[in-house]
């Protein structure tokens, strides 16, 4: 089944927008070139402060954002980038839903872009949604069994 040209262009546009969002905001976590919001709710400030105080969580998070954004922009390993970004997007949406609802619009747009791209690349995720998968070792064990026994497994 081939995709329509409109759907292909929409997926490309969504990939570029999502890639730019995460690449720019990820870099901002290191370079601080965007202004910080003036009135941040207390819970949101406490949460952000806790991430910073760990010493590793905020840099790790921003590193994954930059890496995933670069992968999306370069159109390389897009399903991997989407899988890396999924928990980050969930936390961004939860942060805005529970701690800073006033700025939730861009968070929800990010969620929509992530879901649209996950749907667009759904064939790449199909193997992740299998309930039981044989490991490499399971396959080797089957190769060692006599033909009749392997067929019964």
Q: What is the pTM of this model?
A: 0.84
DSSP string, 71-125: HHHHTSSHHHHHHHHHHHHHHHHHHHHHT-GGGHHHHHHHHHHHHHHHHHTHHHH
Task: Say which residues have a Cβ less than 8 Å from residue 127's Cβ, sequence separation at least 6.
Answer: 133
Question: pLDDT (tens digit, 0 to 9) for every residue of the chain, 153 residues total?
Answer: 457 888 889 999 999 999 999 999 999 999 999 998 888 999 999 999 999 999 999 999 999 999 999 999 999 999 999 999 999 999 999 999 999 998 899 999 999 999 999 999 999 999 888 888 878 777 677 667 676 555 555
Which among 117, 58, 133, 59 has a CA at the least distance from the CA of 83? 117
Tokens 């806790």 label which residue? 50
């Amino acid at each position: 089944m081939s995709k329509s040209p409109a759907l292909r262009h929409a997926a490309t546009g969504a990939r570029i927008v999502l890639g730019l969002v995460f690449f720019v905001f990820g870099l901002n976590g290191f370079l601080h070139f965007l202004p910080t919001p003036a009135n941040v709710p207390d819970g949101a400030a406490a949460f952000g402060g806790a991430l910073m105080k760990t010493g590793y969580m905020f840099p790790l998070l921003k590193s994954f954002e930059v890496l995933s954004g670069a992968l999306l922009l370069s159109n390389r390993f897009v399903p991997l980038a989407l899988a890396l970004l999924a928990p980050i997007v969930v936390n961004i949406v939860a942060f805005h839903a529970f701690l800073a609802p006033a700025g939730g619009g861009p968070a929800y747009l990010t969620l929509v872009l992530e879901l649209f791209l996950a749907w667009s690349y759904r064939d790449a995720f199909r193997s992740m949604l299998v309930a039981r998968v044989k490991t490499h070792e399971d396959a080797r064990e089957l190769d060692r069994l006599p033909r009749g026994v392997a067929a019964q497994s």
